[in-house]
Structure 1
């Protein structure tokens, strides 16, 4: 079915208005910033945006404007912005988790080394005590007196 020039102009105006709304972030519930939602919002058949159909140039304009916003660091679709933010947060959390795991591994190794050293030192002390107790050449010093040393009367 052919449409008149006036109907075509009216459709193009509705498409452009819907395009502006979507690019401002006014996404309807369940929609996205895409051609399907654009067609739905403008009440135009989606197939009219493809091939040599009458509104293919508007699809190209819409895609160009969406890409320009993305290149500028803006994401018109709030859901896409939330997804991008959450992906960045997940990446940061994965990095923190990897650092935490590395720190835990390092501390576990350090703890093992410290326990091994303490055990070796304890065994050495026990051995030295046994050796000292078994020989008569070691003289025990008297316990220190409570009086202070170095005082002259």
Structure 2
């Protein structure tokens, strides 16, 4: 079915008005900032935006304007903005998790080294005690008892 030039102009004006609304972030409930929503809200068949169809130039204009907004850091679709924000958060959390895992690994290594050193020192103390016990020139001091000295009443 052919449409008249006046109907085509009217449709293009409706598409451009809808395009402006969508790019301002005025999305219908359940809609997105995409061609499907643009066609539905403008009351035009979506297939008319593809190939050599009558409104292909409007699709290109819409996509170009949307890309310019996105490059400027503006995302008219709140869900798309939320997705971008969540992806950024996930990347930051992954970085924090990697740093925490690295710290945990370093602390585990340090703990293992400290335990190995303590064990080696303990073995050295035991060896020195055995050597000292066998040497008659070494005099052992009496063990010190924990006493409370000088209690005042």
Instruction: Give the TM-score normalised by the residue count of structure 1.
Output: 0.86
Q: Distance in 2 between matches of 1:129 and 1:141?
A: 13
Q: Distance in 2 between matches of 1:139 and 1:41?
A: 101
Q: Distance in 2 between matches of 1:71 and 1:120?
A: 62
The residue aligned with 1:32 is 32
Q: Secondary structure at the match of 2:13?
A: helix
The residue aligned with 1:72 is 72
Q: Superposition pairs for residues 3-152 of structure 1, below 5 Å?
A: 3-140=3-140
* Deviation at residue 13 of structure 1 after TM alignment: 1.5
Task: Specify every segment of 5 or more residues in structure 2 that has no aligned partner in the other structure, as ranges.
Answer: 145-153
* Deviation at residue 139 of structure 1 after TM alignment: 2.8
Instruction: Give the TM-score normalised by the residue count of structure 2.
Output: 0.86
* Deviation at residue 85 of structure 1 after TM alignment: 1.0
Residues 143 and 109 (structure 1), Cα distance of their counterparts in 2 relative to 1, 3 Å cut: closer
* Deviation at residue 73 of structure 1 after TM alignment: 1.4
Q: Distance in 1 between matches of 2:93 and 2:52?
A: 48
Task: Specify every segment of 5 or more residues in structure 1 that has no aligned partner in the other structure, as ranges.
Answer: 145-153
> CA RMSD for the aligned pairs?
1.8
Residues 138 and 19 (structure 1), Cα distance of their counterparts in 2 relative to 1, 3 Å cut: same
* Deviation at residue 140 of structure 1 after TM alignment: 4.0
